[in-house]
Structure formats: C-alpha cells, structure tokens
C-alpha cells in the first residue's frame, strides 16, 4: 500500500512539474512551486522521491518517453505487418503519427512544450533528443530508414535521423501552442495537414542523395558555369 502511494505521489509530482515547466519554462519554476501546486506538505518531497532536480527532470522525460516508445513500437509493428520493405514516407508517418495523436490530448501536450524548453534553452543540460534516440522503437525506426536508403552513408543516415527528431521536437512544441494555447486554437484537420507536409519533407530529406561539401566545391554548379560564361562573353564584347 505504501509503495502504491509513493508511486502515485511520484506521478503527481511529474505531471505537475511537466505542466508548470511547459507553461512557464524550467528556469522560472522553483522546486517549491511544484511542491505547492502538487499539494505536498513535505517541502522536500521531490528530493525524497527523485534525489535531485536534475534527476527529477530526467524522470519526467523517462515517464513520457516510455509511453511514446510503446506507441511508436506498436506503430512500427503494424507497418511491418503490412509490408516488409516500407517506403521512407511510410516509415516517417509510422514514427511520428503516435506523438501527433498524443499532442492532441488535453493532458499530454504539456510534454511537447516542456521538451522544447529542455532542448532549446541556451544552457540546457537535460536534452531529450539524446534520450529519445536511445528508445528501442526509435532505434528500430533508424534501422528501417537505413534499409530504405541503402546508398546513404551510415553516419549520414544517423545524423539525418537525429535532425528529423530535433525538427519534430521544435514543431511539436509550436503545434501544441497553436492547438491548446492560442485563441482561436488550431483545428485538428489543420494540424494534420501541417504534420503531413513535415513528414513529406523529412522523407525526402532522409532519402535524398548525399553530396559532401568538398565534392560540391570541386564541381561548379551549372548556374555558376552559366554566370562565368556570361561574364566571359561580356569581357570579350568589351574588348
């Protein structure tokens, strides 16, 4: 019974802090603010249950990312049950559609604002991207991305996948604000249109050819060649 009560307290503190951090920013919310909002008589409740503020922040990430991982894993299983070799757009949609559904939830959306605060603050130390990248479902999605674009160097594929997640964190935070904070709020149909446009762009980015900067510099583009040709012709005419 005591263990159940302790777990209930932990979750209450996590959800309360997630909401306050999302609405006000992590740098403007004190531990005591969370304790008071969660109606904790013990002023050291967070330190008692989590050890430190940093571990407390990690606990919020882990609580939500576990739910996202479960939903995304089920989404990938469903995709692979339909086809053994999915295309890149199908992979992207299977990856990010579950979080988009969660973003529409009246309680879950706070996480996306909170995650963005933790990602894009100048002095952020608890960046969720590194934790999200280690989720089993996201690791499996990366494997699917690599199989779908075999000509892309492995390190480039990993870098692009991380940047796709980073872009989603930024956009999901803004979408959450538009849906749940601004007046009038963004409707679900409009949100899904924006998400589909993102998914198409990310699919093209993940599967697009990789051209190293050095190679690009060695081979002048057709536009640069054309400009050089025009300048040469102009000089001849003047001469």
Q: What pLDDT score was predicted for residue 164?
A: 95
Q: What pLDDT score was predicted for residue 121?
A: 67
Return the biggest CA–CA distance within the chain: 95
Count Cβ atoms below 10 Å from residue 126 Cβ, excluding itself. Answer: 20
Q: What pLDDT score was predicted for residue 26?
A: 84
pLDDT tens digit string along 115-139? 888 777 655 555 556 677 678 999 9
CA dist 131 and 87 (Å) reads: 26
Output the 3-class SS for the chain. Answer: CHHHHHHHHHHHHHHHHHHHHHHHCHHHCCHHHHHHHCCCCCCCHHHHHHCCHHHHHHHHHHHHHHHHHHHHHHHHHHHHHHCCCCCHHHHHHHHHHHHHHHHCCCCCHHHHHHHHHHHHCCCCCCCHHHHHCCCHHHHHHHHHHHHHCCCCCHHHHHHHHHHHHHHHHHHHHHHHHHHHCCCCCCCHHHHHHHHHHHHHHHHHHHHCCCCCHHHHHHCCCHHHHHHHHHHHHHHHHHC
Reading the block at residue 205, the tokens are: 């980015």
Q: What pLDDT score was predicted for residue 93?
A: 98
Nearest in space to 98 (alpha carbons), one of 61, 131, 73, 63: 73
Reading the block at residue 60, the tokens are: 């919020």
pLDDT below 50 — which residues of the chain? none
CA dist 61 and 205 (Å) reads: 27
Q: What pLDDT score was predicted for residue 119?
A: 78
Structural domains present in the chain: 53-212 (1.10.357)
3-class secondary-structure state, position 151: coil
Q: What pLDDT score was predicted for residue 42?
A: 87
Q: What pTM, to 2 d.p., does this model score?
A: 0.83
CA dihedral 125, 129, 131, 137 (to 10 degrees): 170
Answer for the pair 129, 166: CB distance below 8 angstroms, yes or no. yes
């Amino acid at each position: 019974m005591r263990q159940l009560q302790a777990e209930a307290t932990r979750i209450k503190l996590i959800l309360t802090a997630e909401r306050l951090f999302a609405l006000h920013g992590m740098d403007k919310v004190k531990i005591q603010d969370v304790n008071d909002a969660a109606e904790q008589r013990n002023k050291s409740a967070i330190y008692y249950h989590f050890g430190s503020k940093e571990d407390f922040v990690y606990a919020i990430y882990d609580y939500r990312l576990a739910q996202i991982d479960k939903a995304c894993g089920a989404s990938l299983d469903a995709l692979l049950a339909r086809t053994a070799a999915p295309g890149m757009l199908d992979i992207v949609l299977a990856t990010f559609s579950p979080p988009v559904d969660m973003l529409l939830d009246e309680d879950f959306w706070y996480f996306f604002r909170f995650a963005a605060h933790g990602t894009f603050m100048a002095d952020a130390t608890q960046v969720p991207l590194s934790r999200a990248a280690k989720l089993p479902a996201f690791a499996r999605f990366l494997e699917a991305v690599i199989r779908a674009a075999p000509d892309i160097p492995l390190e480039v594929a990993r870098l692009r996948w991380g940047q796709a997640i980073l872009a989603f964190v930024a956009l999901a935070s803004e979408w959450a604000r538009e849906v749940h904070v601004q007046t009038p709020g963004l409707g679900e149909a409009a949100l899904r249109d924006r998400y589909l446009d993102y998914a198409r762009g990310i699919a093209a980015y993940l599967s697009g050819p990789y051209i190293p900067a050095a190679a690009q510099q060695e081979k002048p583009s057709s536009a640069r060649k054309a400009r050089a040709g025009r300048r040469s012709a102009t000089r001849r005419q003047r001469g």
